[in-house]
Amino acid sequence: MHTFILRNVLQRLLLVFIVSILAHSVIHLAPGEPSEVDPANPRMKPEDIAKIRAAFHLDDPLYAQYAYWIRDLVSGELKSFKDSQPVLGKIWRRFLNSLPLFICATLLVWTLAFPTGIQAAIHRGAVYDRTTTFAAYTLISVPGFFLSYMVILWVVDLFGVPVIGLKTFGMEHAHPLFQSMDRVWHLVIPSLMSALGGMAILSRYVRSQMLEVIGQDYVRTARAKGAEEATVIYRHALRNALLPFVTMFGFLLPGLIGGSVIFEQIFAWPGLGRLGYEAILARDFPVILTLNFIAAVLTLAGTLLSDVLYAVVDPRIRTGLQGDA
């Protein structure tokens, strides 16, 4: 098991290195200049632009720029082009903003998708199943931003409460309980909106996975020995149906970065997705590259995690590994 993990980690480290080089080259080779050196600004003389380019190392060869980036990233002194603020600090603050949205949306997806999917599988072909199928496909096909606009218009019109941003303005003097509930309220709609698509897809997975398992021999055996239907479904069938979802858990991690660019944009949520989006628009290379780097690390960590989890929950794989080692 240890060698398995060690080998995986080493492989992934190499991969991170390759990915960072690739990302660095792609981003620098793409057309466009950081907005600080935009030659279309008539106030800036070519000399000024040349000075800023030199300070950003933009005219150095790509490998040197890569080296500068890695050096500053490691020493923690990497600065954004846009406002000269330390990049890691910026990302950390935005991460803290994105985190509640991410947790809330993930909880919604995973808690709602399972009961709906299981019910649909049990009542296969019934009205409930068809309704959820229809609803799921509607949610998958209607663009999330459109739905969000509709919901915002509806909520603001009907209830007259704010839904944009992290909190309501002008509540600085209210009781802390009111303030925290206000923050929860501001979470509701964006997280619901960003969860809808995931919910629809995941519940479809759960349904098909359950259907497959329900048809298995051991489920029939369980029924034949006279177990209660609930026990059959939730103990014998569900546990076995869960296996593939363990792997999906690992893929949640990279969703932390850029999982909800659109929703953060619409709901004025100052999160990581927006940080990345705006950095791309301004060609703020240090921020784009660092976010990209973190995303790569998280993706690889996620796959590693799911490999390990899979080995943990499925004894067959574990034995196979031990034999291998």
Please list every residue from 112 through 141 that binds other proteins, using CB under 8 A: 112, 114-115, 118
Q: How far apart are CA 304 and CA 311, in angstroms?
A: 11
Using rule CB under 8 A, residue 268 touches other proteins: yes
**Among residues 29, 40, 127, 224, the one that binds other proteins under rule CB under 8 A:** 40
Residues 54 to 83 in contact with other proteins, rule: CB under 8 A: 55, 75, 77, 79, 82-83
**Among residues 51, 123, 130, 220, the one that binds other proteins under rule CB under 8 A:** 51
Q: State residue 316 phi and psi, 5-degree precision.
A: -60, -45
**Among residues 46, 176, 226, 315, the one that binds other proteins under rule CB under 8 A:** 46
Q: Residue 284: CB partners within 8 Å, gap ≥ 6? A: 34, 35, 80, 81, 82, 278
Identify which range of 128-136, 165-173, 217-225, 303-311 contacts other proteins by CB under 8 A: 165-173
Q: Which is nearer to other proteins, 9 or 188 (CB)?
A: 188
Closest distance to other proteins from the beta carbon of 206 (Å):
11
Q: Residue 300: CB partners within 8 Å, gap ≥ 6? A: 12, 15, 16
Residues 292 to 321 in contact with other proteins, rule: CB under 8 A: none
Identify which range of 9-17, 131-139, 186-194, 288-296 contacts other proteins by CB under 8 A: 186-194
**Among residues 128, 151, 162, 245, the one that binds other proteins under rule CB under 8 A:** 162
Q: Which burial class, exposed, middle or buried, applies to 242 when counting CB atoms under 10 A from its CB (0-12, 13-18, 19+)?
A: middle
Residues 142 to 161 in contact with other proteins, rule: CB under 8 A: 149, 152-153, 156, 159-161
Using rule CB under 8 A, residue 261 touches other proteins: no
Q: Which burial class, exposed, middle or buried, applies to 180 when counting CB atoms under 10 A from its CB (0-12, 13-18, 19+)?
A: exposed
DSSP 24-91: HHHHHHSS---GGG-TT-TT--HHHHHHHHHHTTTTS-HHHHHHHHHHHHHHT--B-TTT--BHHHHH
**Among residues 67, 96, 103, 171, the one that binds other proteins under rule CB under 8 A:** 171
Q: Which is nearer to other proteins, 152 or 321 (CB)?
A: 152
**Among residues 136, 139, 187, 257, the one that binds other proteins under rule CB under 8 A:** 187
Residue 17 belongs to what H/E stretch?
A: helix 2-29
Closest distance to other proteins from the beta carbon of 198 (Å):
14
Residues 9 to 28 in contact with other proteins, rule: CB under 8 A: none
Using rule CB under 8 A, residue 238 touches other proteins: yes
Closest distance to other proteins from the beta carbon of 143 (Å):
14
Half-sphere exposure at residue 141, Cβ-oriented, CA atoms within 13 angstroms:
6
Q: Which pair of tokens denotes residue 135?
A: 């609803």
Q: Residue 322 carries which side chain, given as an amino acid letter? A: Q
